[in-house]
């Protein structure tokens, strides 16, 4: 566990640098002062915690020590001006995505890798109502009250998935252009990755099934796949707007621009065609129109406006589509999962 004081002058300056950076990593929705730790979840979610502990998410805090990743981590740390690879565990840009941080008073400490709260939000304000079976007997009511108190629940696919993309698509230009960090997780795709080793689906319609980590319904996979593609476009546009260094020698803008172009020119049109063209959901057609009208080489404000307009349509898409009318995309959803889902013995 790594601990450092928020009152350290060097860290205060570092924090200011990140806060004012126009090309910095996306601001996390995980507020360290609201983090309580995964152990609080285990009382009711034993299988979910077992699933998490064998995943790469749980091990992400050892990226600088793991023989498979330590050399690359050291290379990036050196290029980014860190004094040693161990500073990855205290540097805000690194801990934002690879660690879970908890703040108690003036002390900010790393308490693990990517955790329950990384995806579902700091639980301080909602953990009690979420687990209060004595006062709130209905599981459904507890879920709704938890959401009202700030929990990020899969019922809002956009909110939870946006957390995924805020780290799996990098936003810091220097990290890529200077540090050599990948611009995005290679092959990242929401449906196949969320249903692989990070899957922890032990509830169906408020009914607990402790013996099996089930696949989500096909209708929900369709929503995940389509929402993921749209979020990939939104975040690629935001990354494109954040980058200021232009030219083939600077990989950040190149990676963001190429990904956005691929979605606009081929992948999203293919989804719309599979869903019947003119009969496809109106939000998808509107998103494609917005994206085509956005000059990818234009000024940052124009590209950000396009991303903001697309975000509004993605949220509407999530509200209006439960997946039952998206069967046309079934053939586009990758069948190979990212890792093997945990199953209780």
* Domain ranges across the chain: 1-122, 124-153, 154-345
Considering the entire predicted model, what is its pTM? 0.89
Cβ pair 119, 163 in contact under 8 A: yes
User: pLDDT value at position 22?
Assistant: 33
User: pLDDT value at position 35?
Assistant: 96
User: pLDDT value at position 21?
Assistant: 34
Tens digit of pLDDT per residue, the chain (345 long)?
454 443 333 333 333 333 333 333 344 568 899 999 999 999 899 999 999 999 999 999 999 999 999 999 999 999 999 999 999 999 999 999 999 999 999 999 999 999 999 999 999 999 999 999 999 999 999 999 999 999 999 889 999 999 999 999 998 999 999 999 999 999 999 999 999 999 999 998 889 998 999 999 999 999 999 999 999 999 999 999 999 999 888 999 999 999 999 999 999 999 999 999 999 999 999 999 999 999 999 999 999 999 999 999 999 999 999 999 999 999 999 999 999 999 998
Q: Tens digits of per-residue pLDDT, 195-248? A: 999 999 999 888 999 899 999 999 999 999 999 999 999 999 999 999 999 988
Question: How many Å apart are CA 21 and CA 172, to the nearest integer?
Answer: 9
């Amino acid at each position: 566990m790594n601990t450092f004081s928020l009152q350290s002058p060097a860290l205060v300056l570092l924090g200011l640098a990140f806060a004012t950076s126009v090309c910095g990593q996306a601001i996390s929705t995980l507020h360290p002062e609201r983090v309580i730790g995964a152990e609080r979840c285990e009382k009711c979610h034993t299988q979910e915690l077992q699933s998490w502990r064998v995943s790469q998410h749980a091990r992400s805090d050892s990226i600088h020590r793991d023989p498979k990743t330590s050399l690359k981590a050291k290379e990036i740390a050196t290029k980014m001006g860190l004094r040693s690879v161990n500073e990855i565990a205290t540097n805000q840009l690194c801990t934002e995505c690879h660690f879970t941080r908890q703040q108690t008073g003036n002390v900010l400490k790393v308490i693990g890798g990517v955790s329950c709260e990384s995806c579902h939000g700091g639980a301080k304000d909602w953990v009690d109502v979420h687990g209060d079976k004595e006062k709130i007997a209905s599981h459904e009511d507890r879920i709704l009250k938890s959401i009202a108190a700030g929990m990020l629940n899969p019922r809002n696919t956009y909110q939870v998935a946006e957390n995924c993309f805020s780290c799996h698509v990098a936003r810091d230009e220097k990290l890529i252009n200077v540090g050599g960090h990948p611009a995005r997780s290679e092959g990242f795709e929401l449906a196949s990755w969320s249903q692989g080793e990070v899957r922890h689906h032990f509830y169906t319609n408020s009914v607990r099934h402790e013996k099996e980590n089930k696949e989500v319904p096909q209708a929900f996979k369709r929503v995940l796949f389509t929402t993921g593609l749209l979020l990939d476009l939104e975040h690629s546009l935001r990354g494109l707007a954040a980058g200021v260094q232009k030219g083939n020698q600077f990989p950040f803008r190149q990676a963001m621009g190429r990904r956005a172009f691929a979605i606009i020119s081929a992948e999203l049109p293919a989804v719309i065609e599979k869903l019947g063209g003119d009969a496809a959901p109106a939000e998808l057609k509107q998103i494609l129109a917005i994206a085509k009208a956005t000059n990818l080489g234009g000024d940052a404000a124009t590209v950000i406006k396009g991303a903001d307009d697309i975000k509004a349509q993605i949220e509407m898409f999530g509200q209006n589509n439960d997946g039952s009318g998206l069967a046309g995309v079934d053939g586009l959803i990758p069948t190979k999962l990212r890792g093997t889902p945990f199953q209780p013995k």
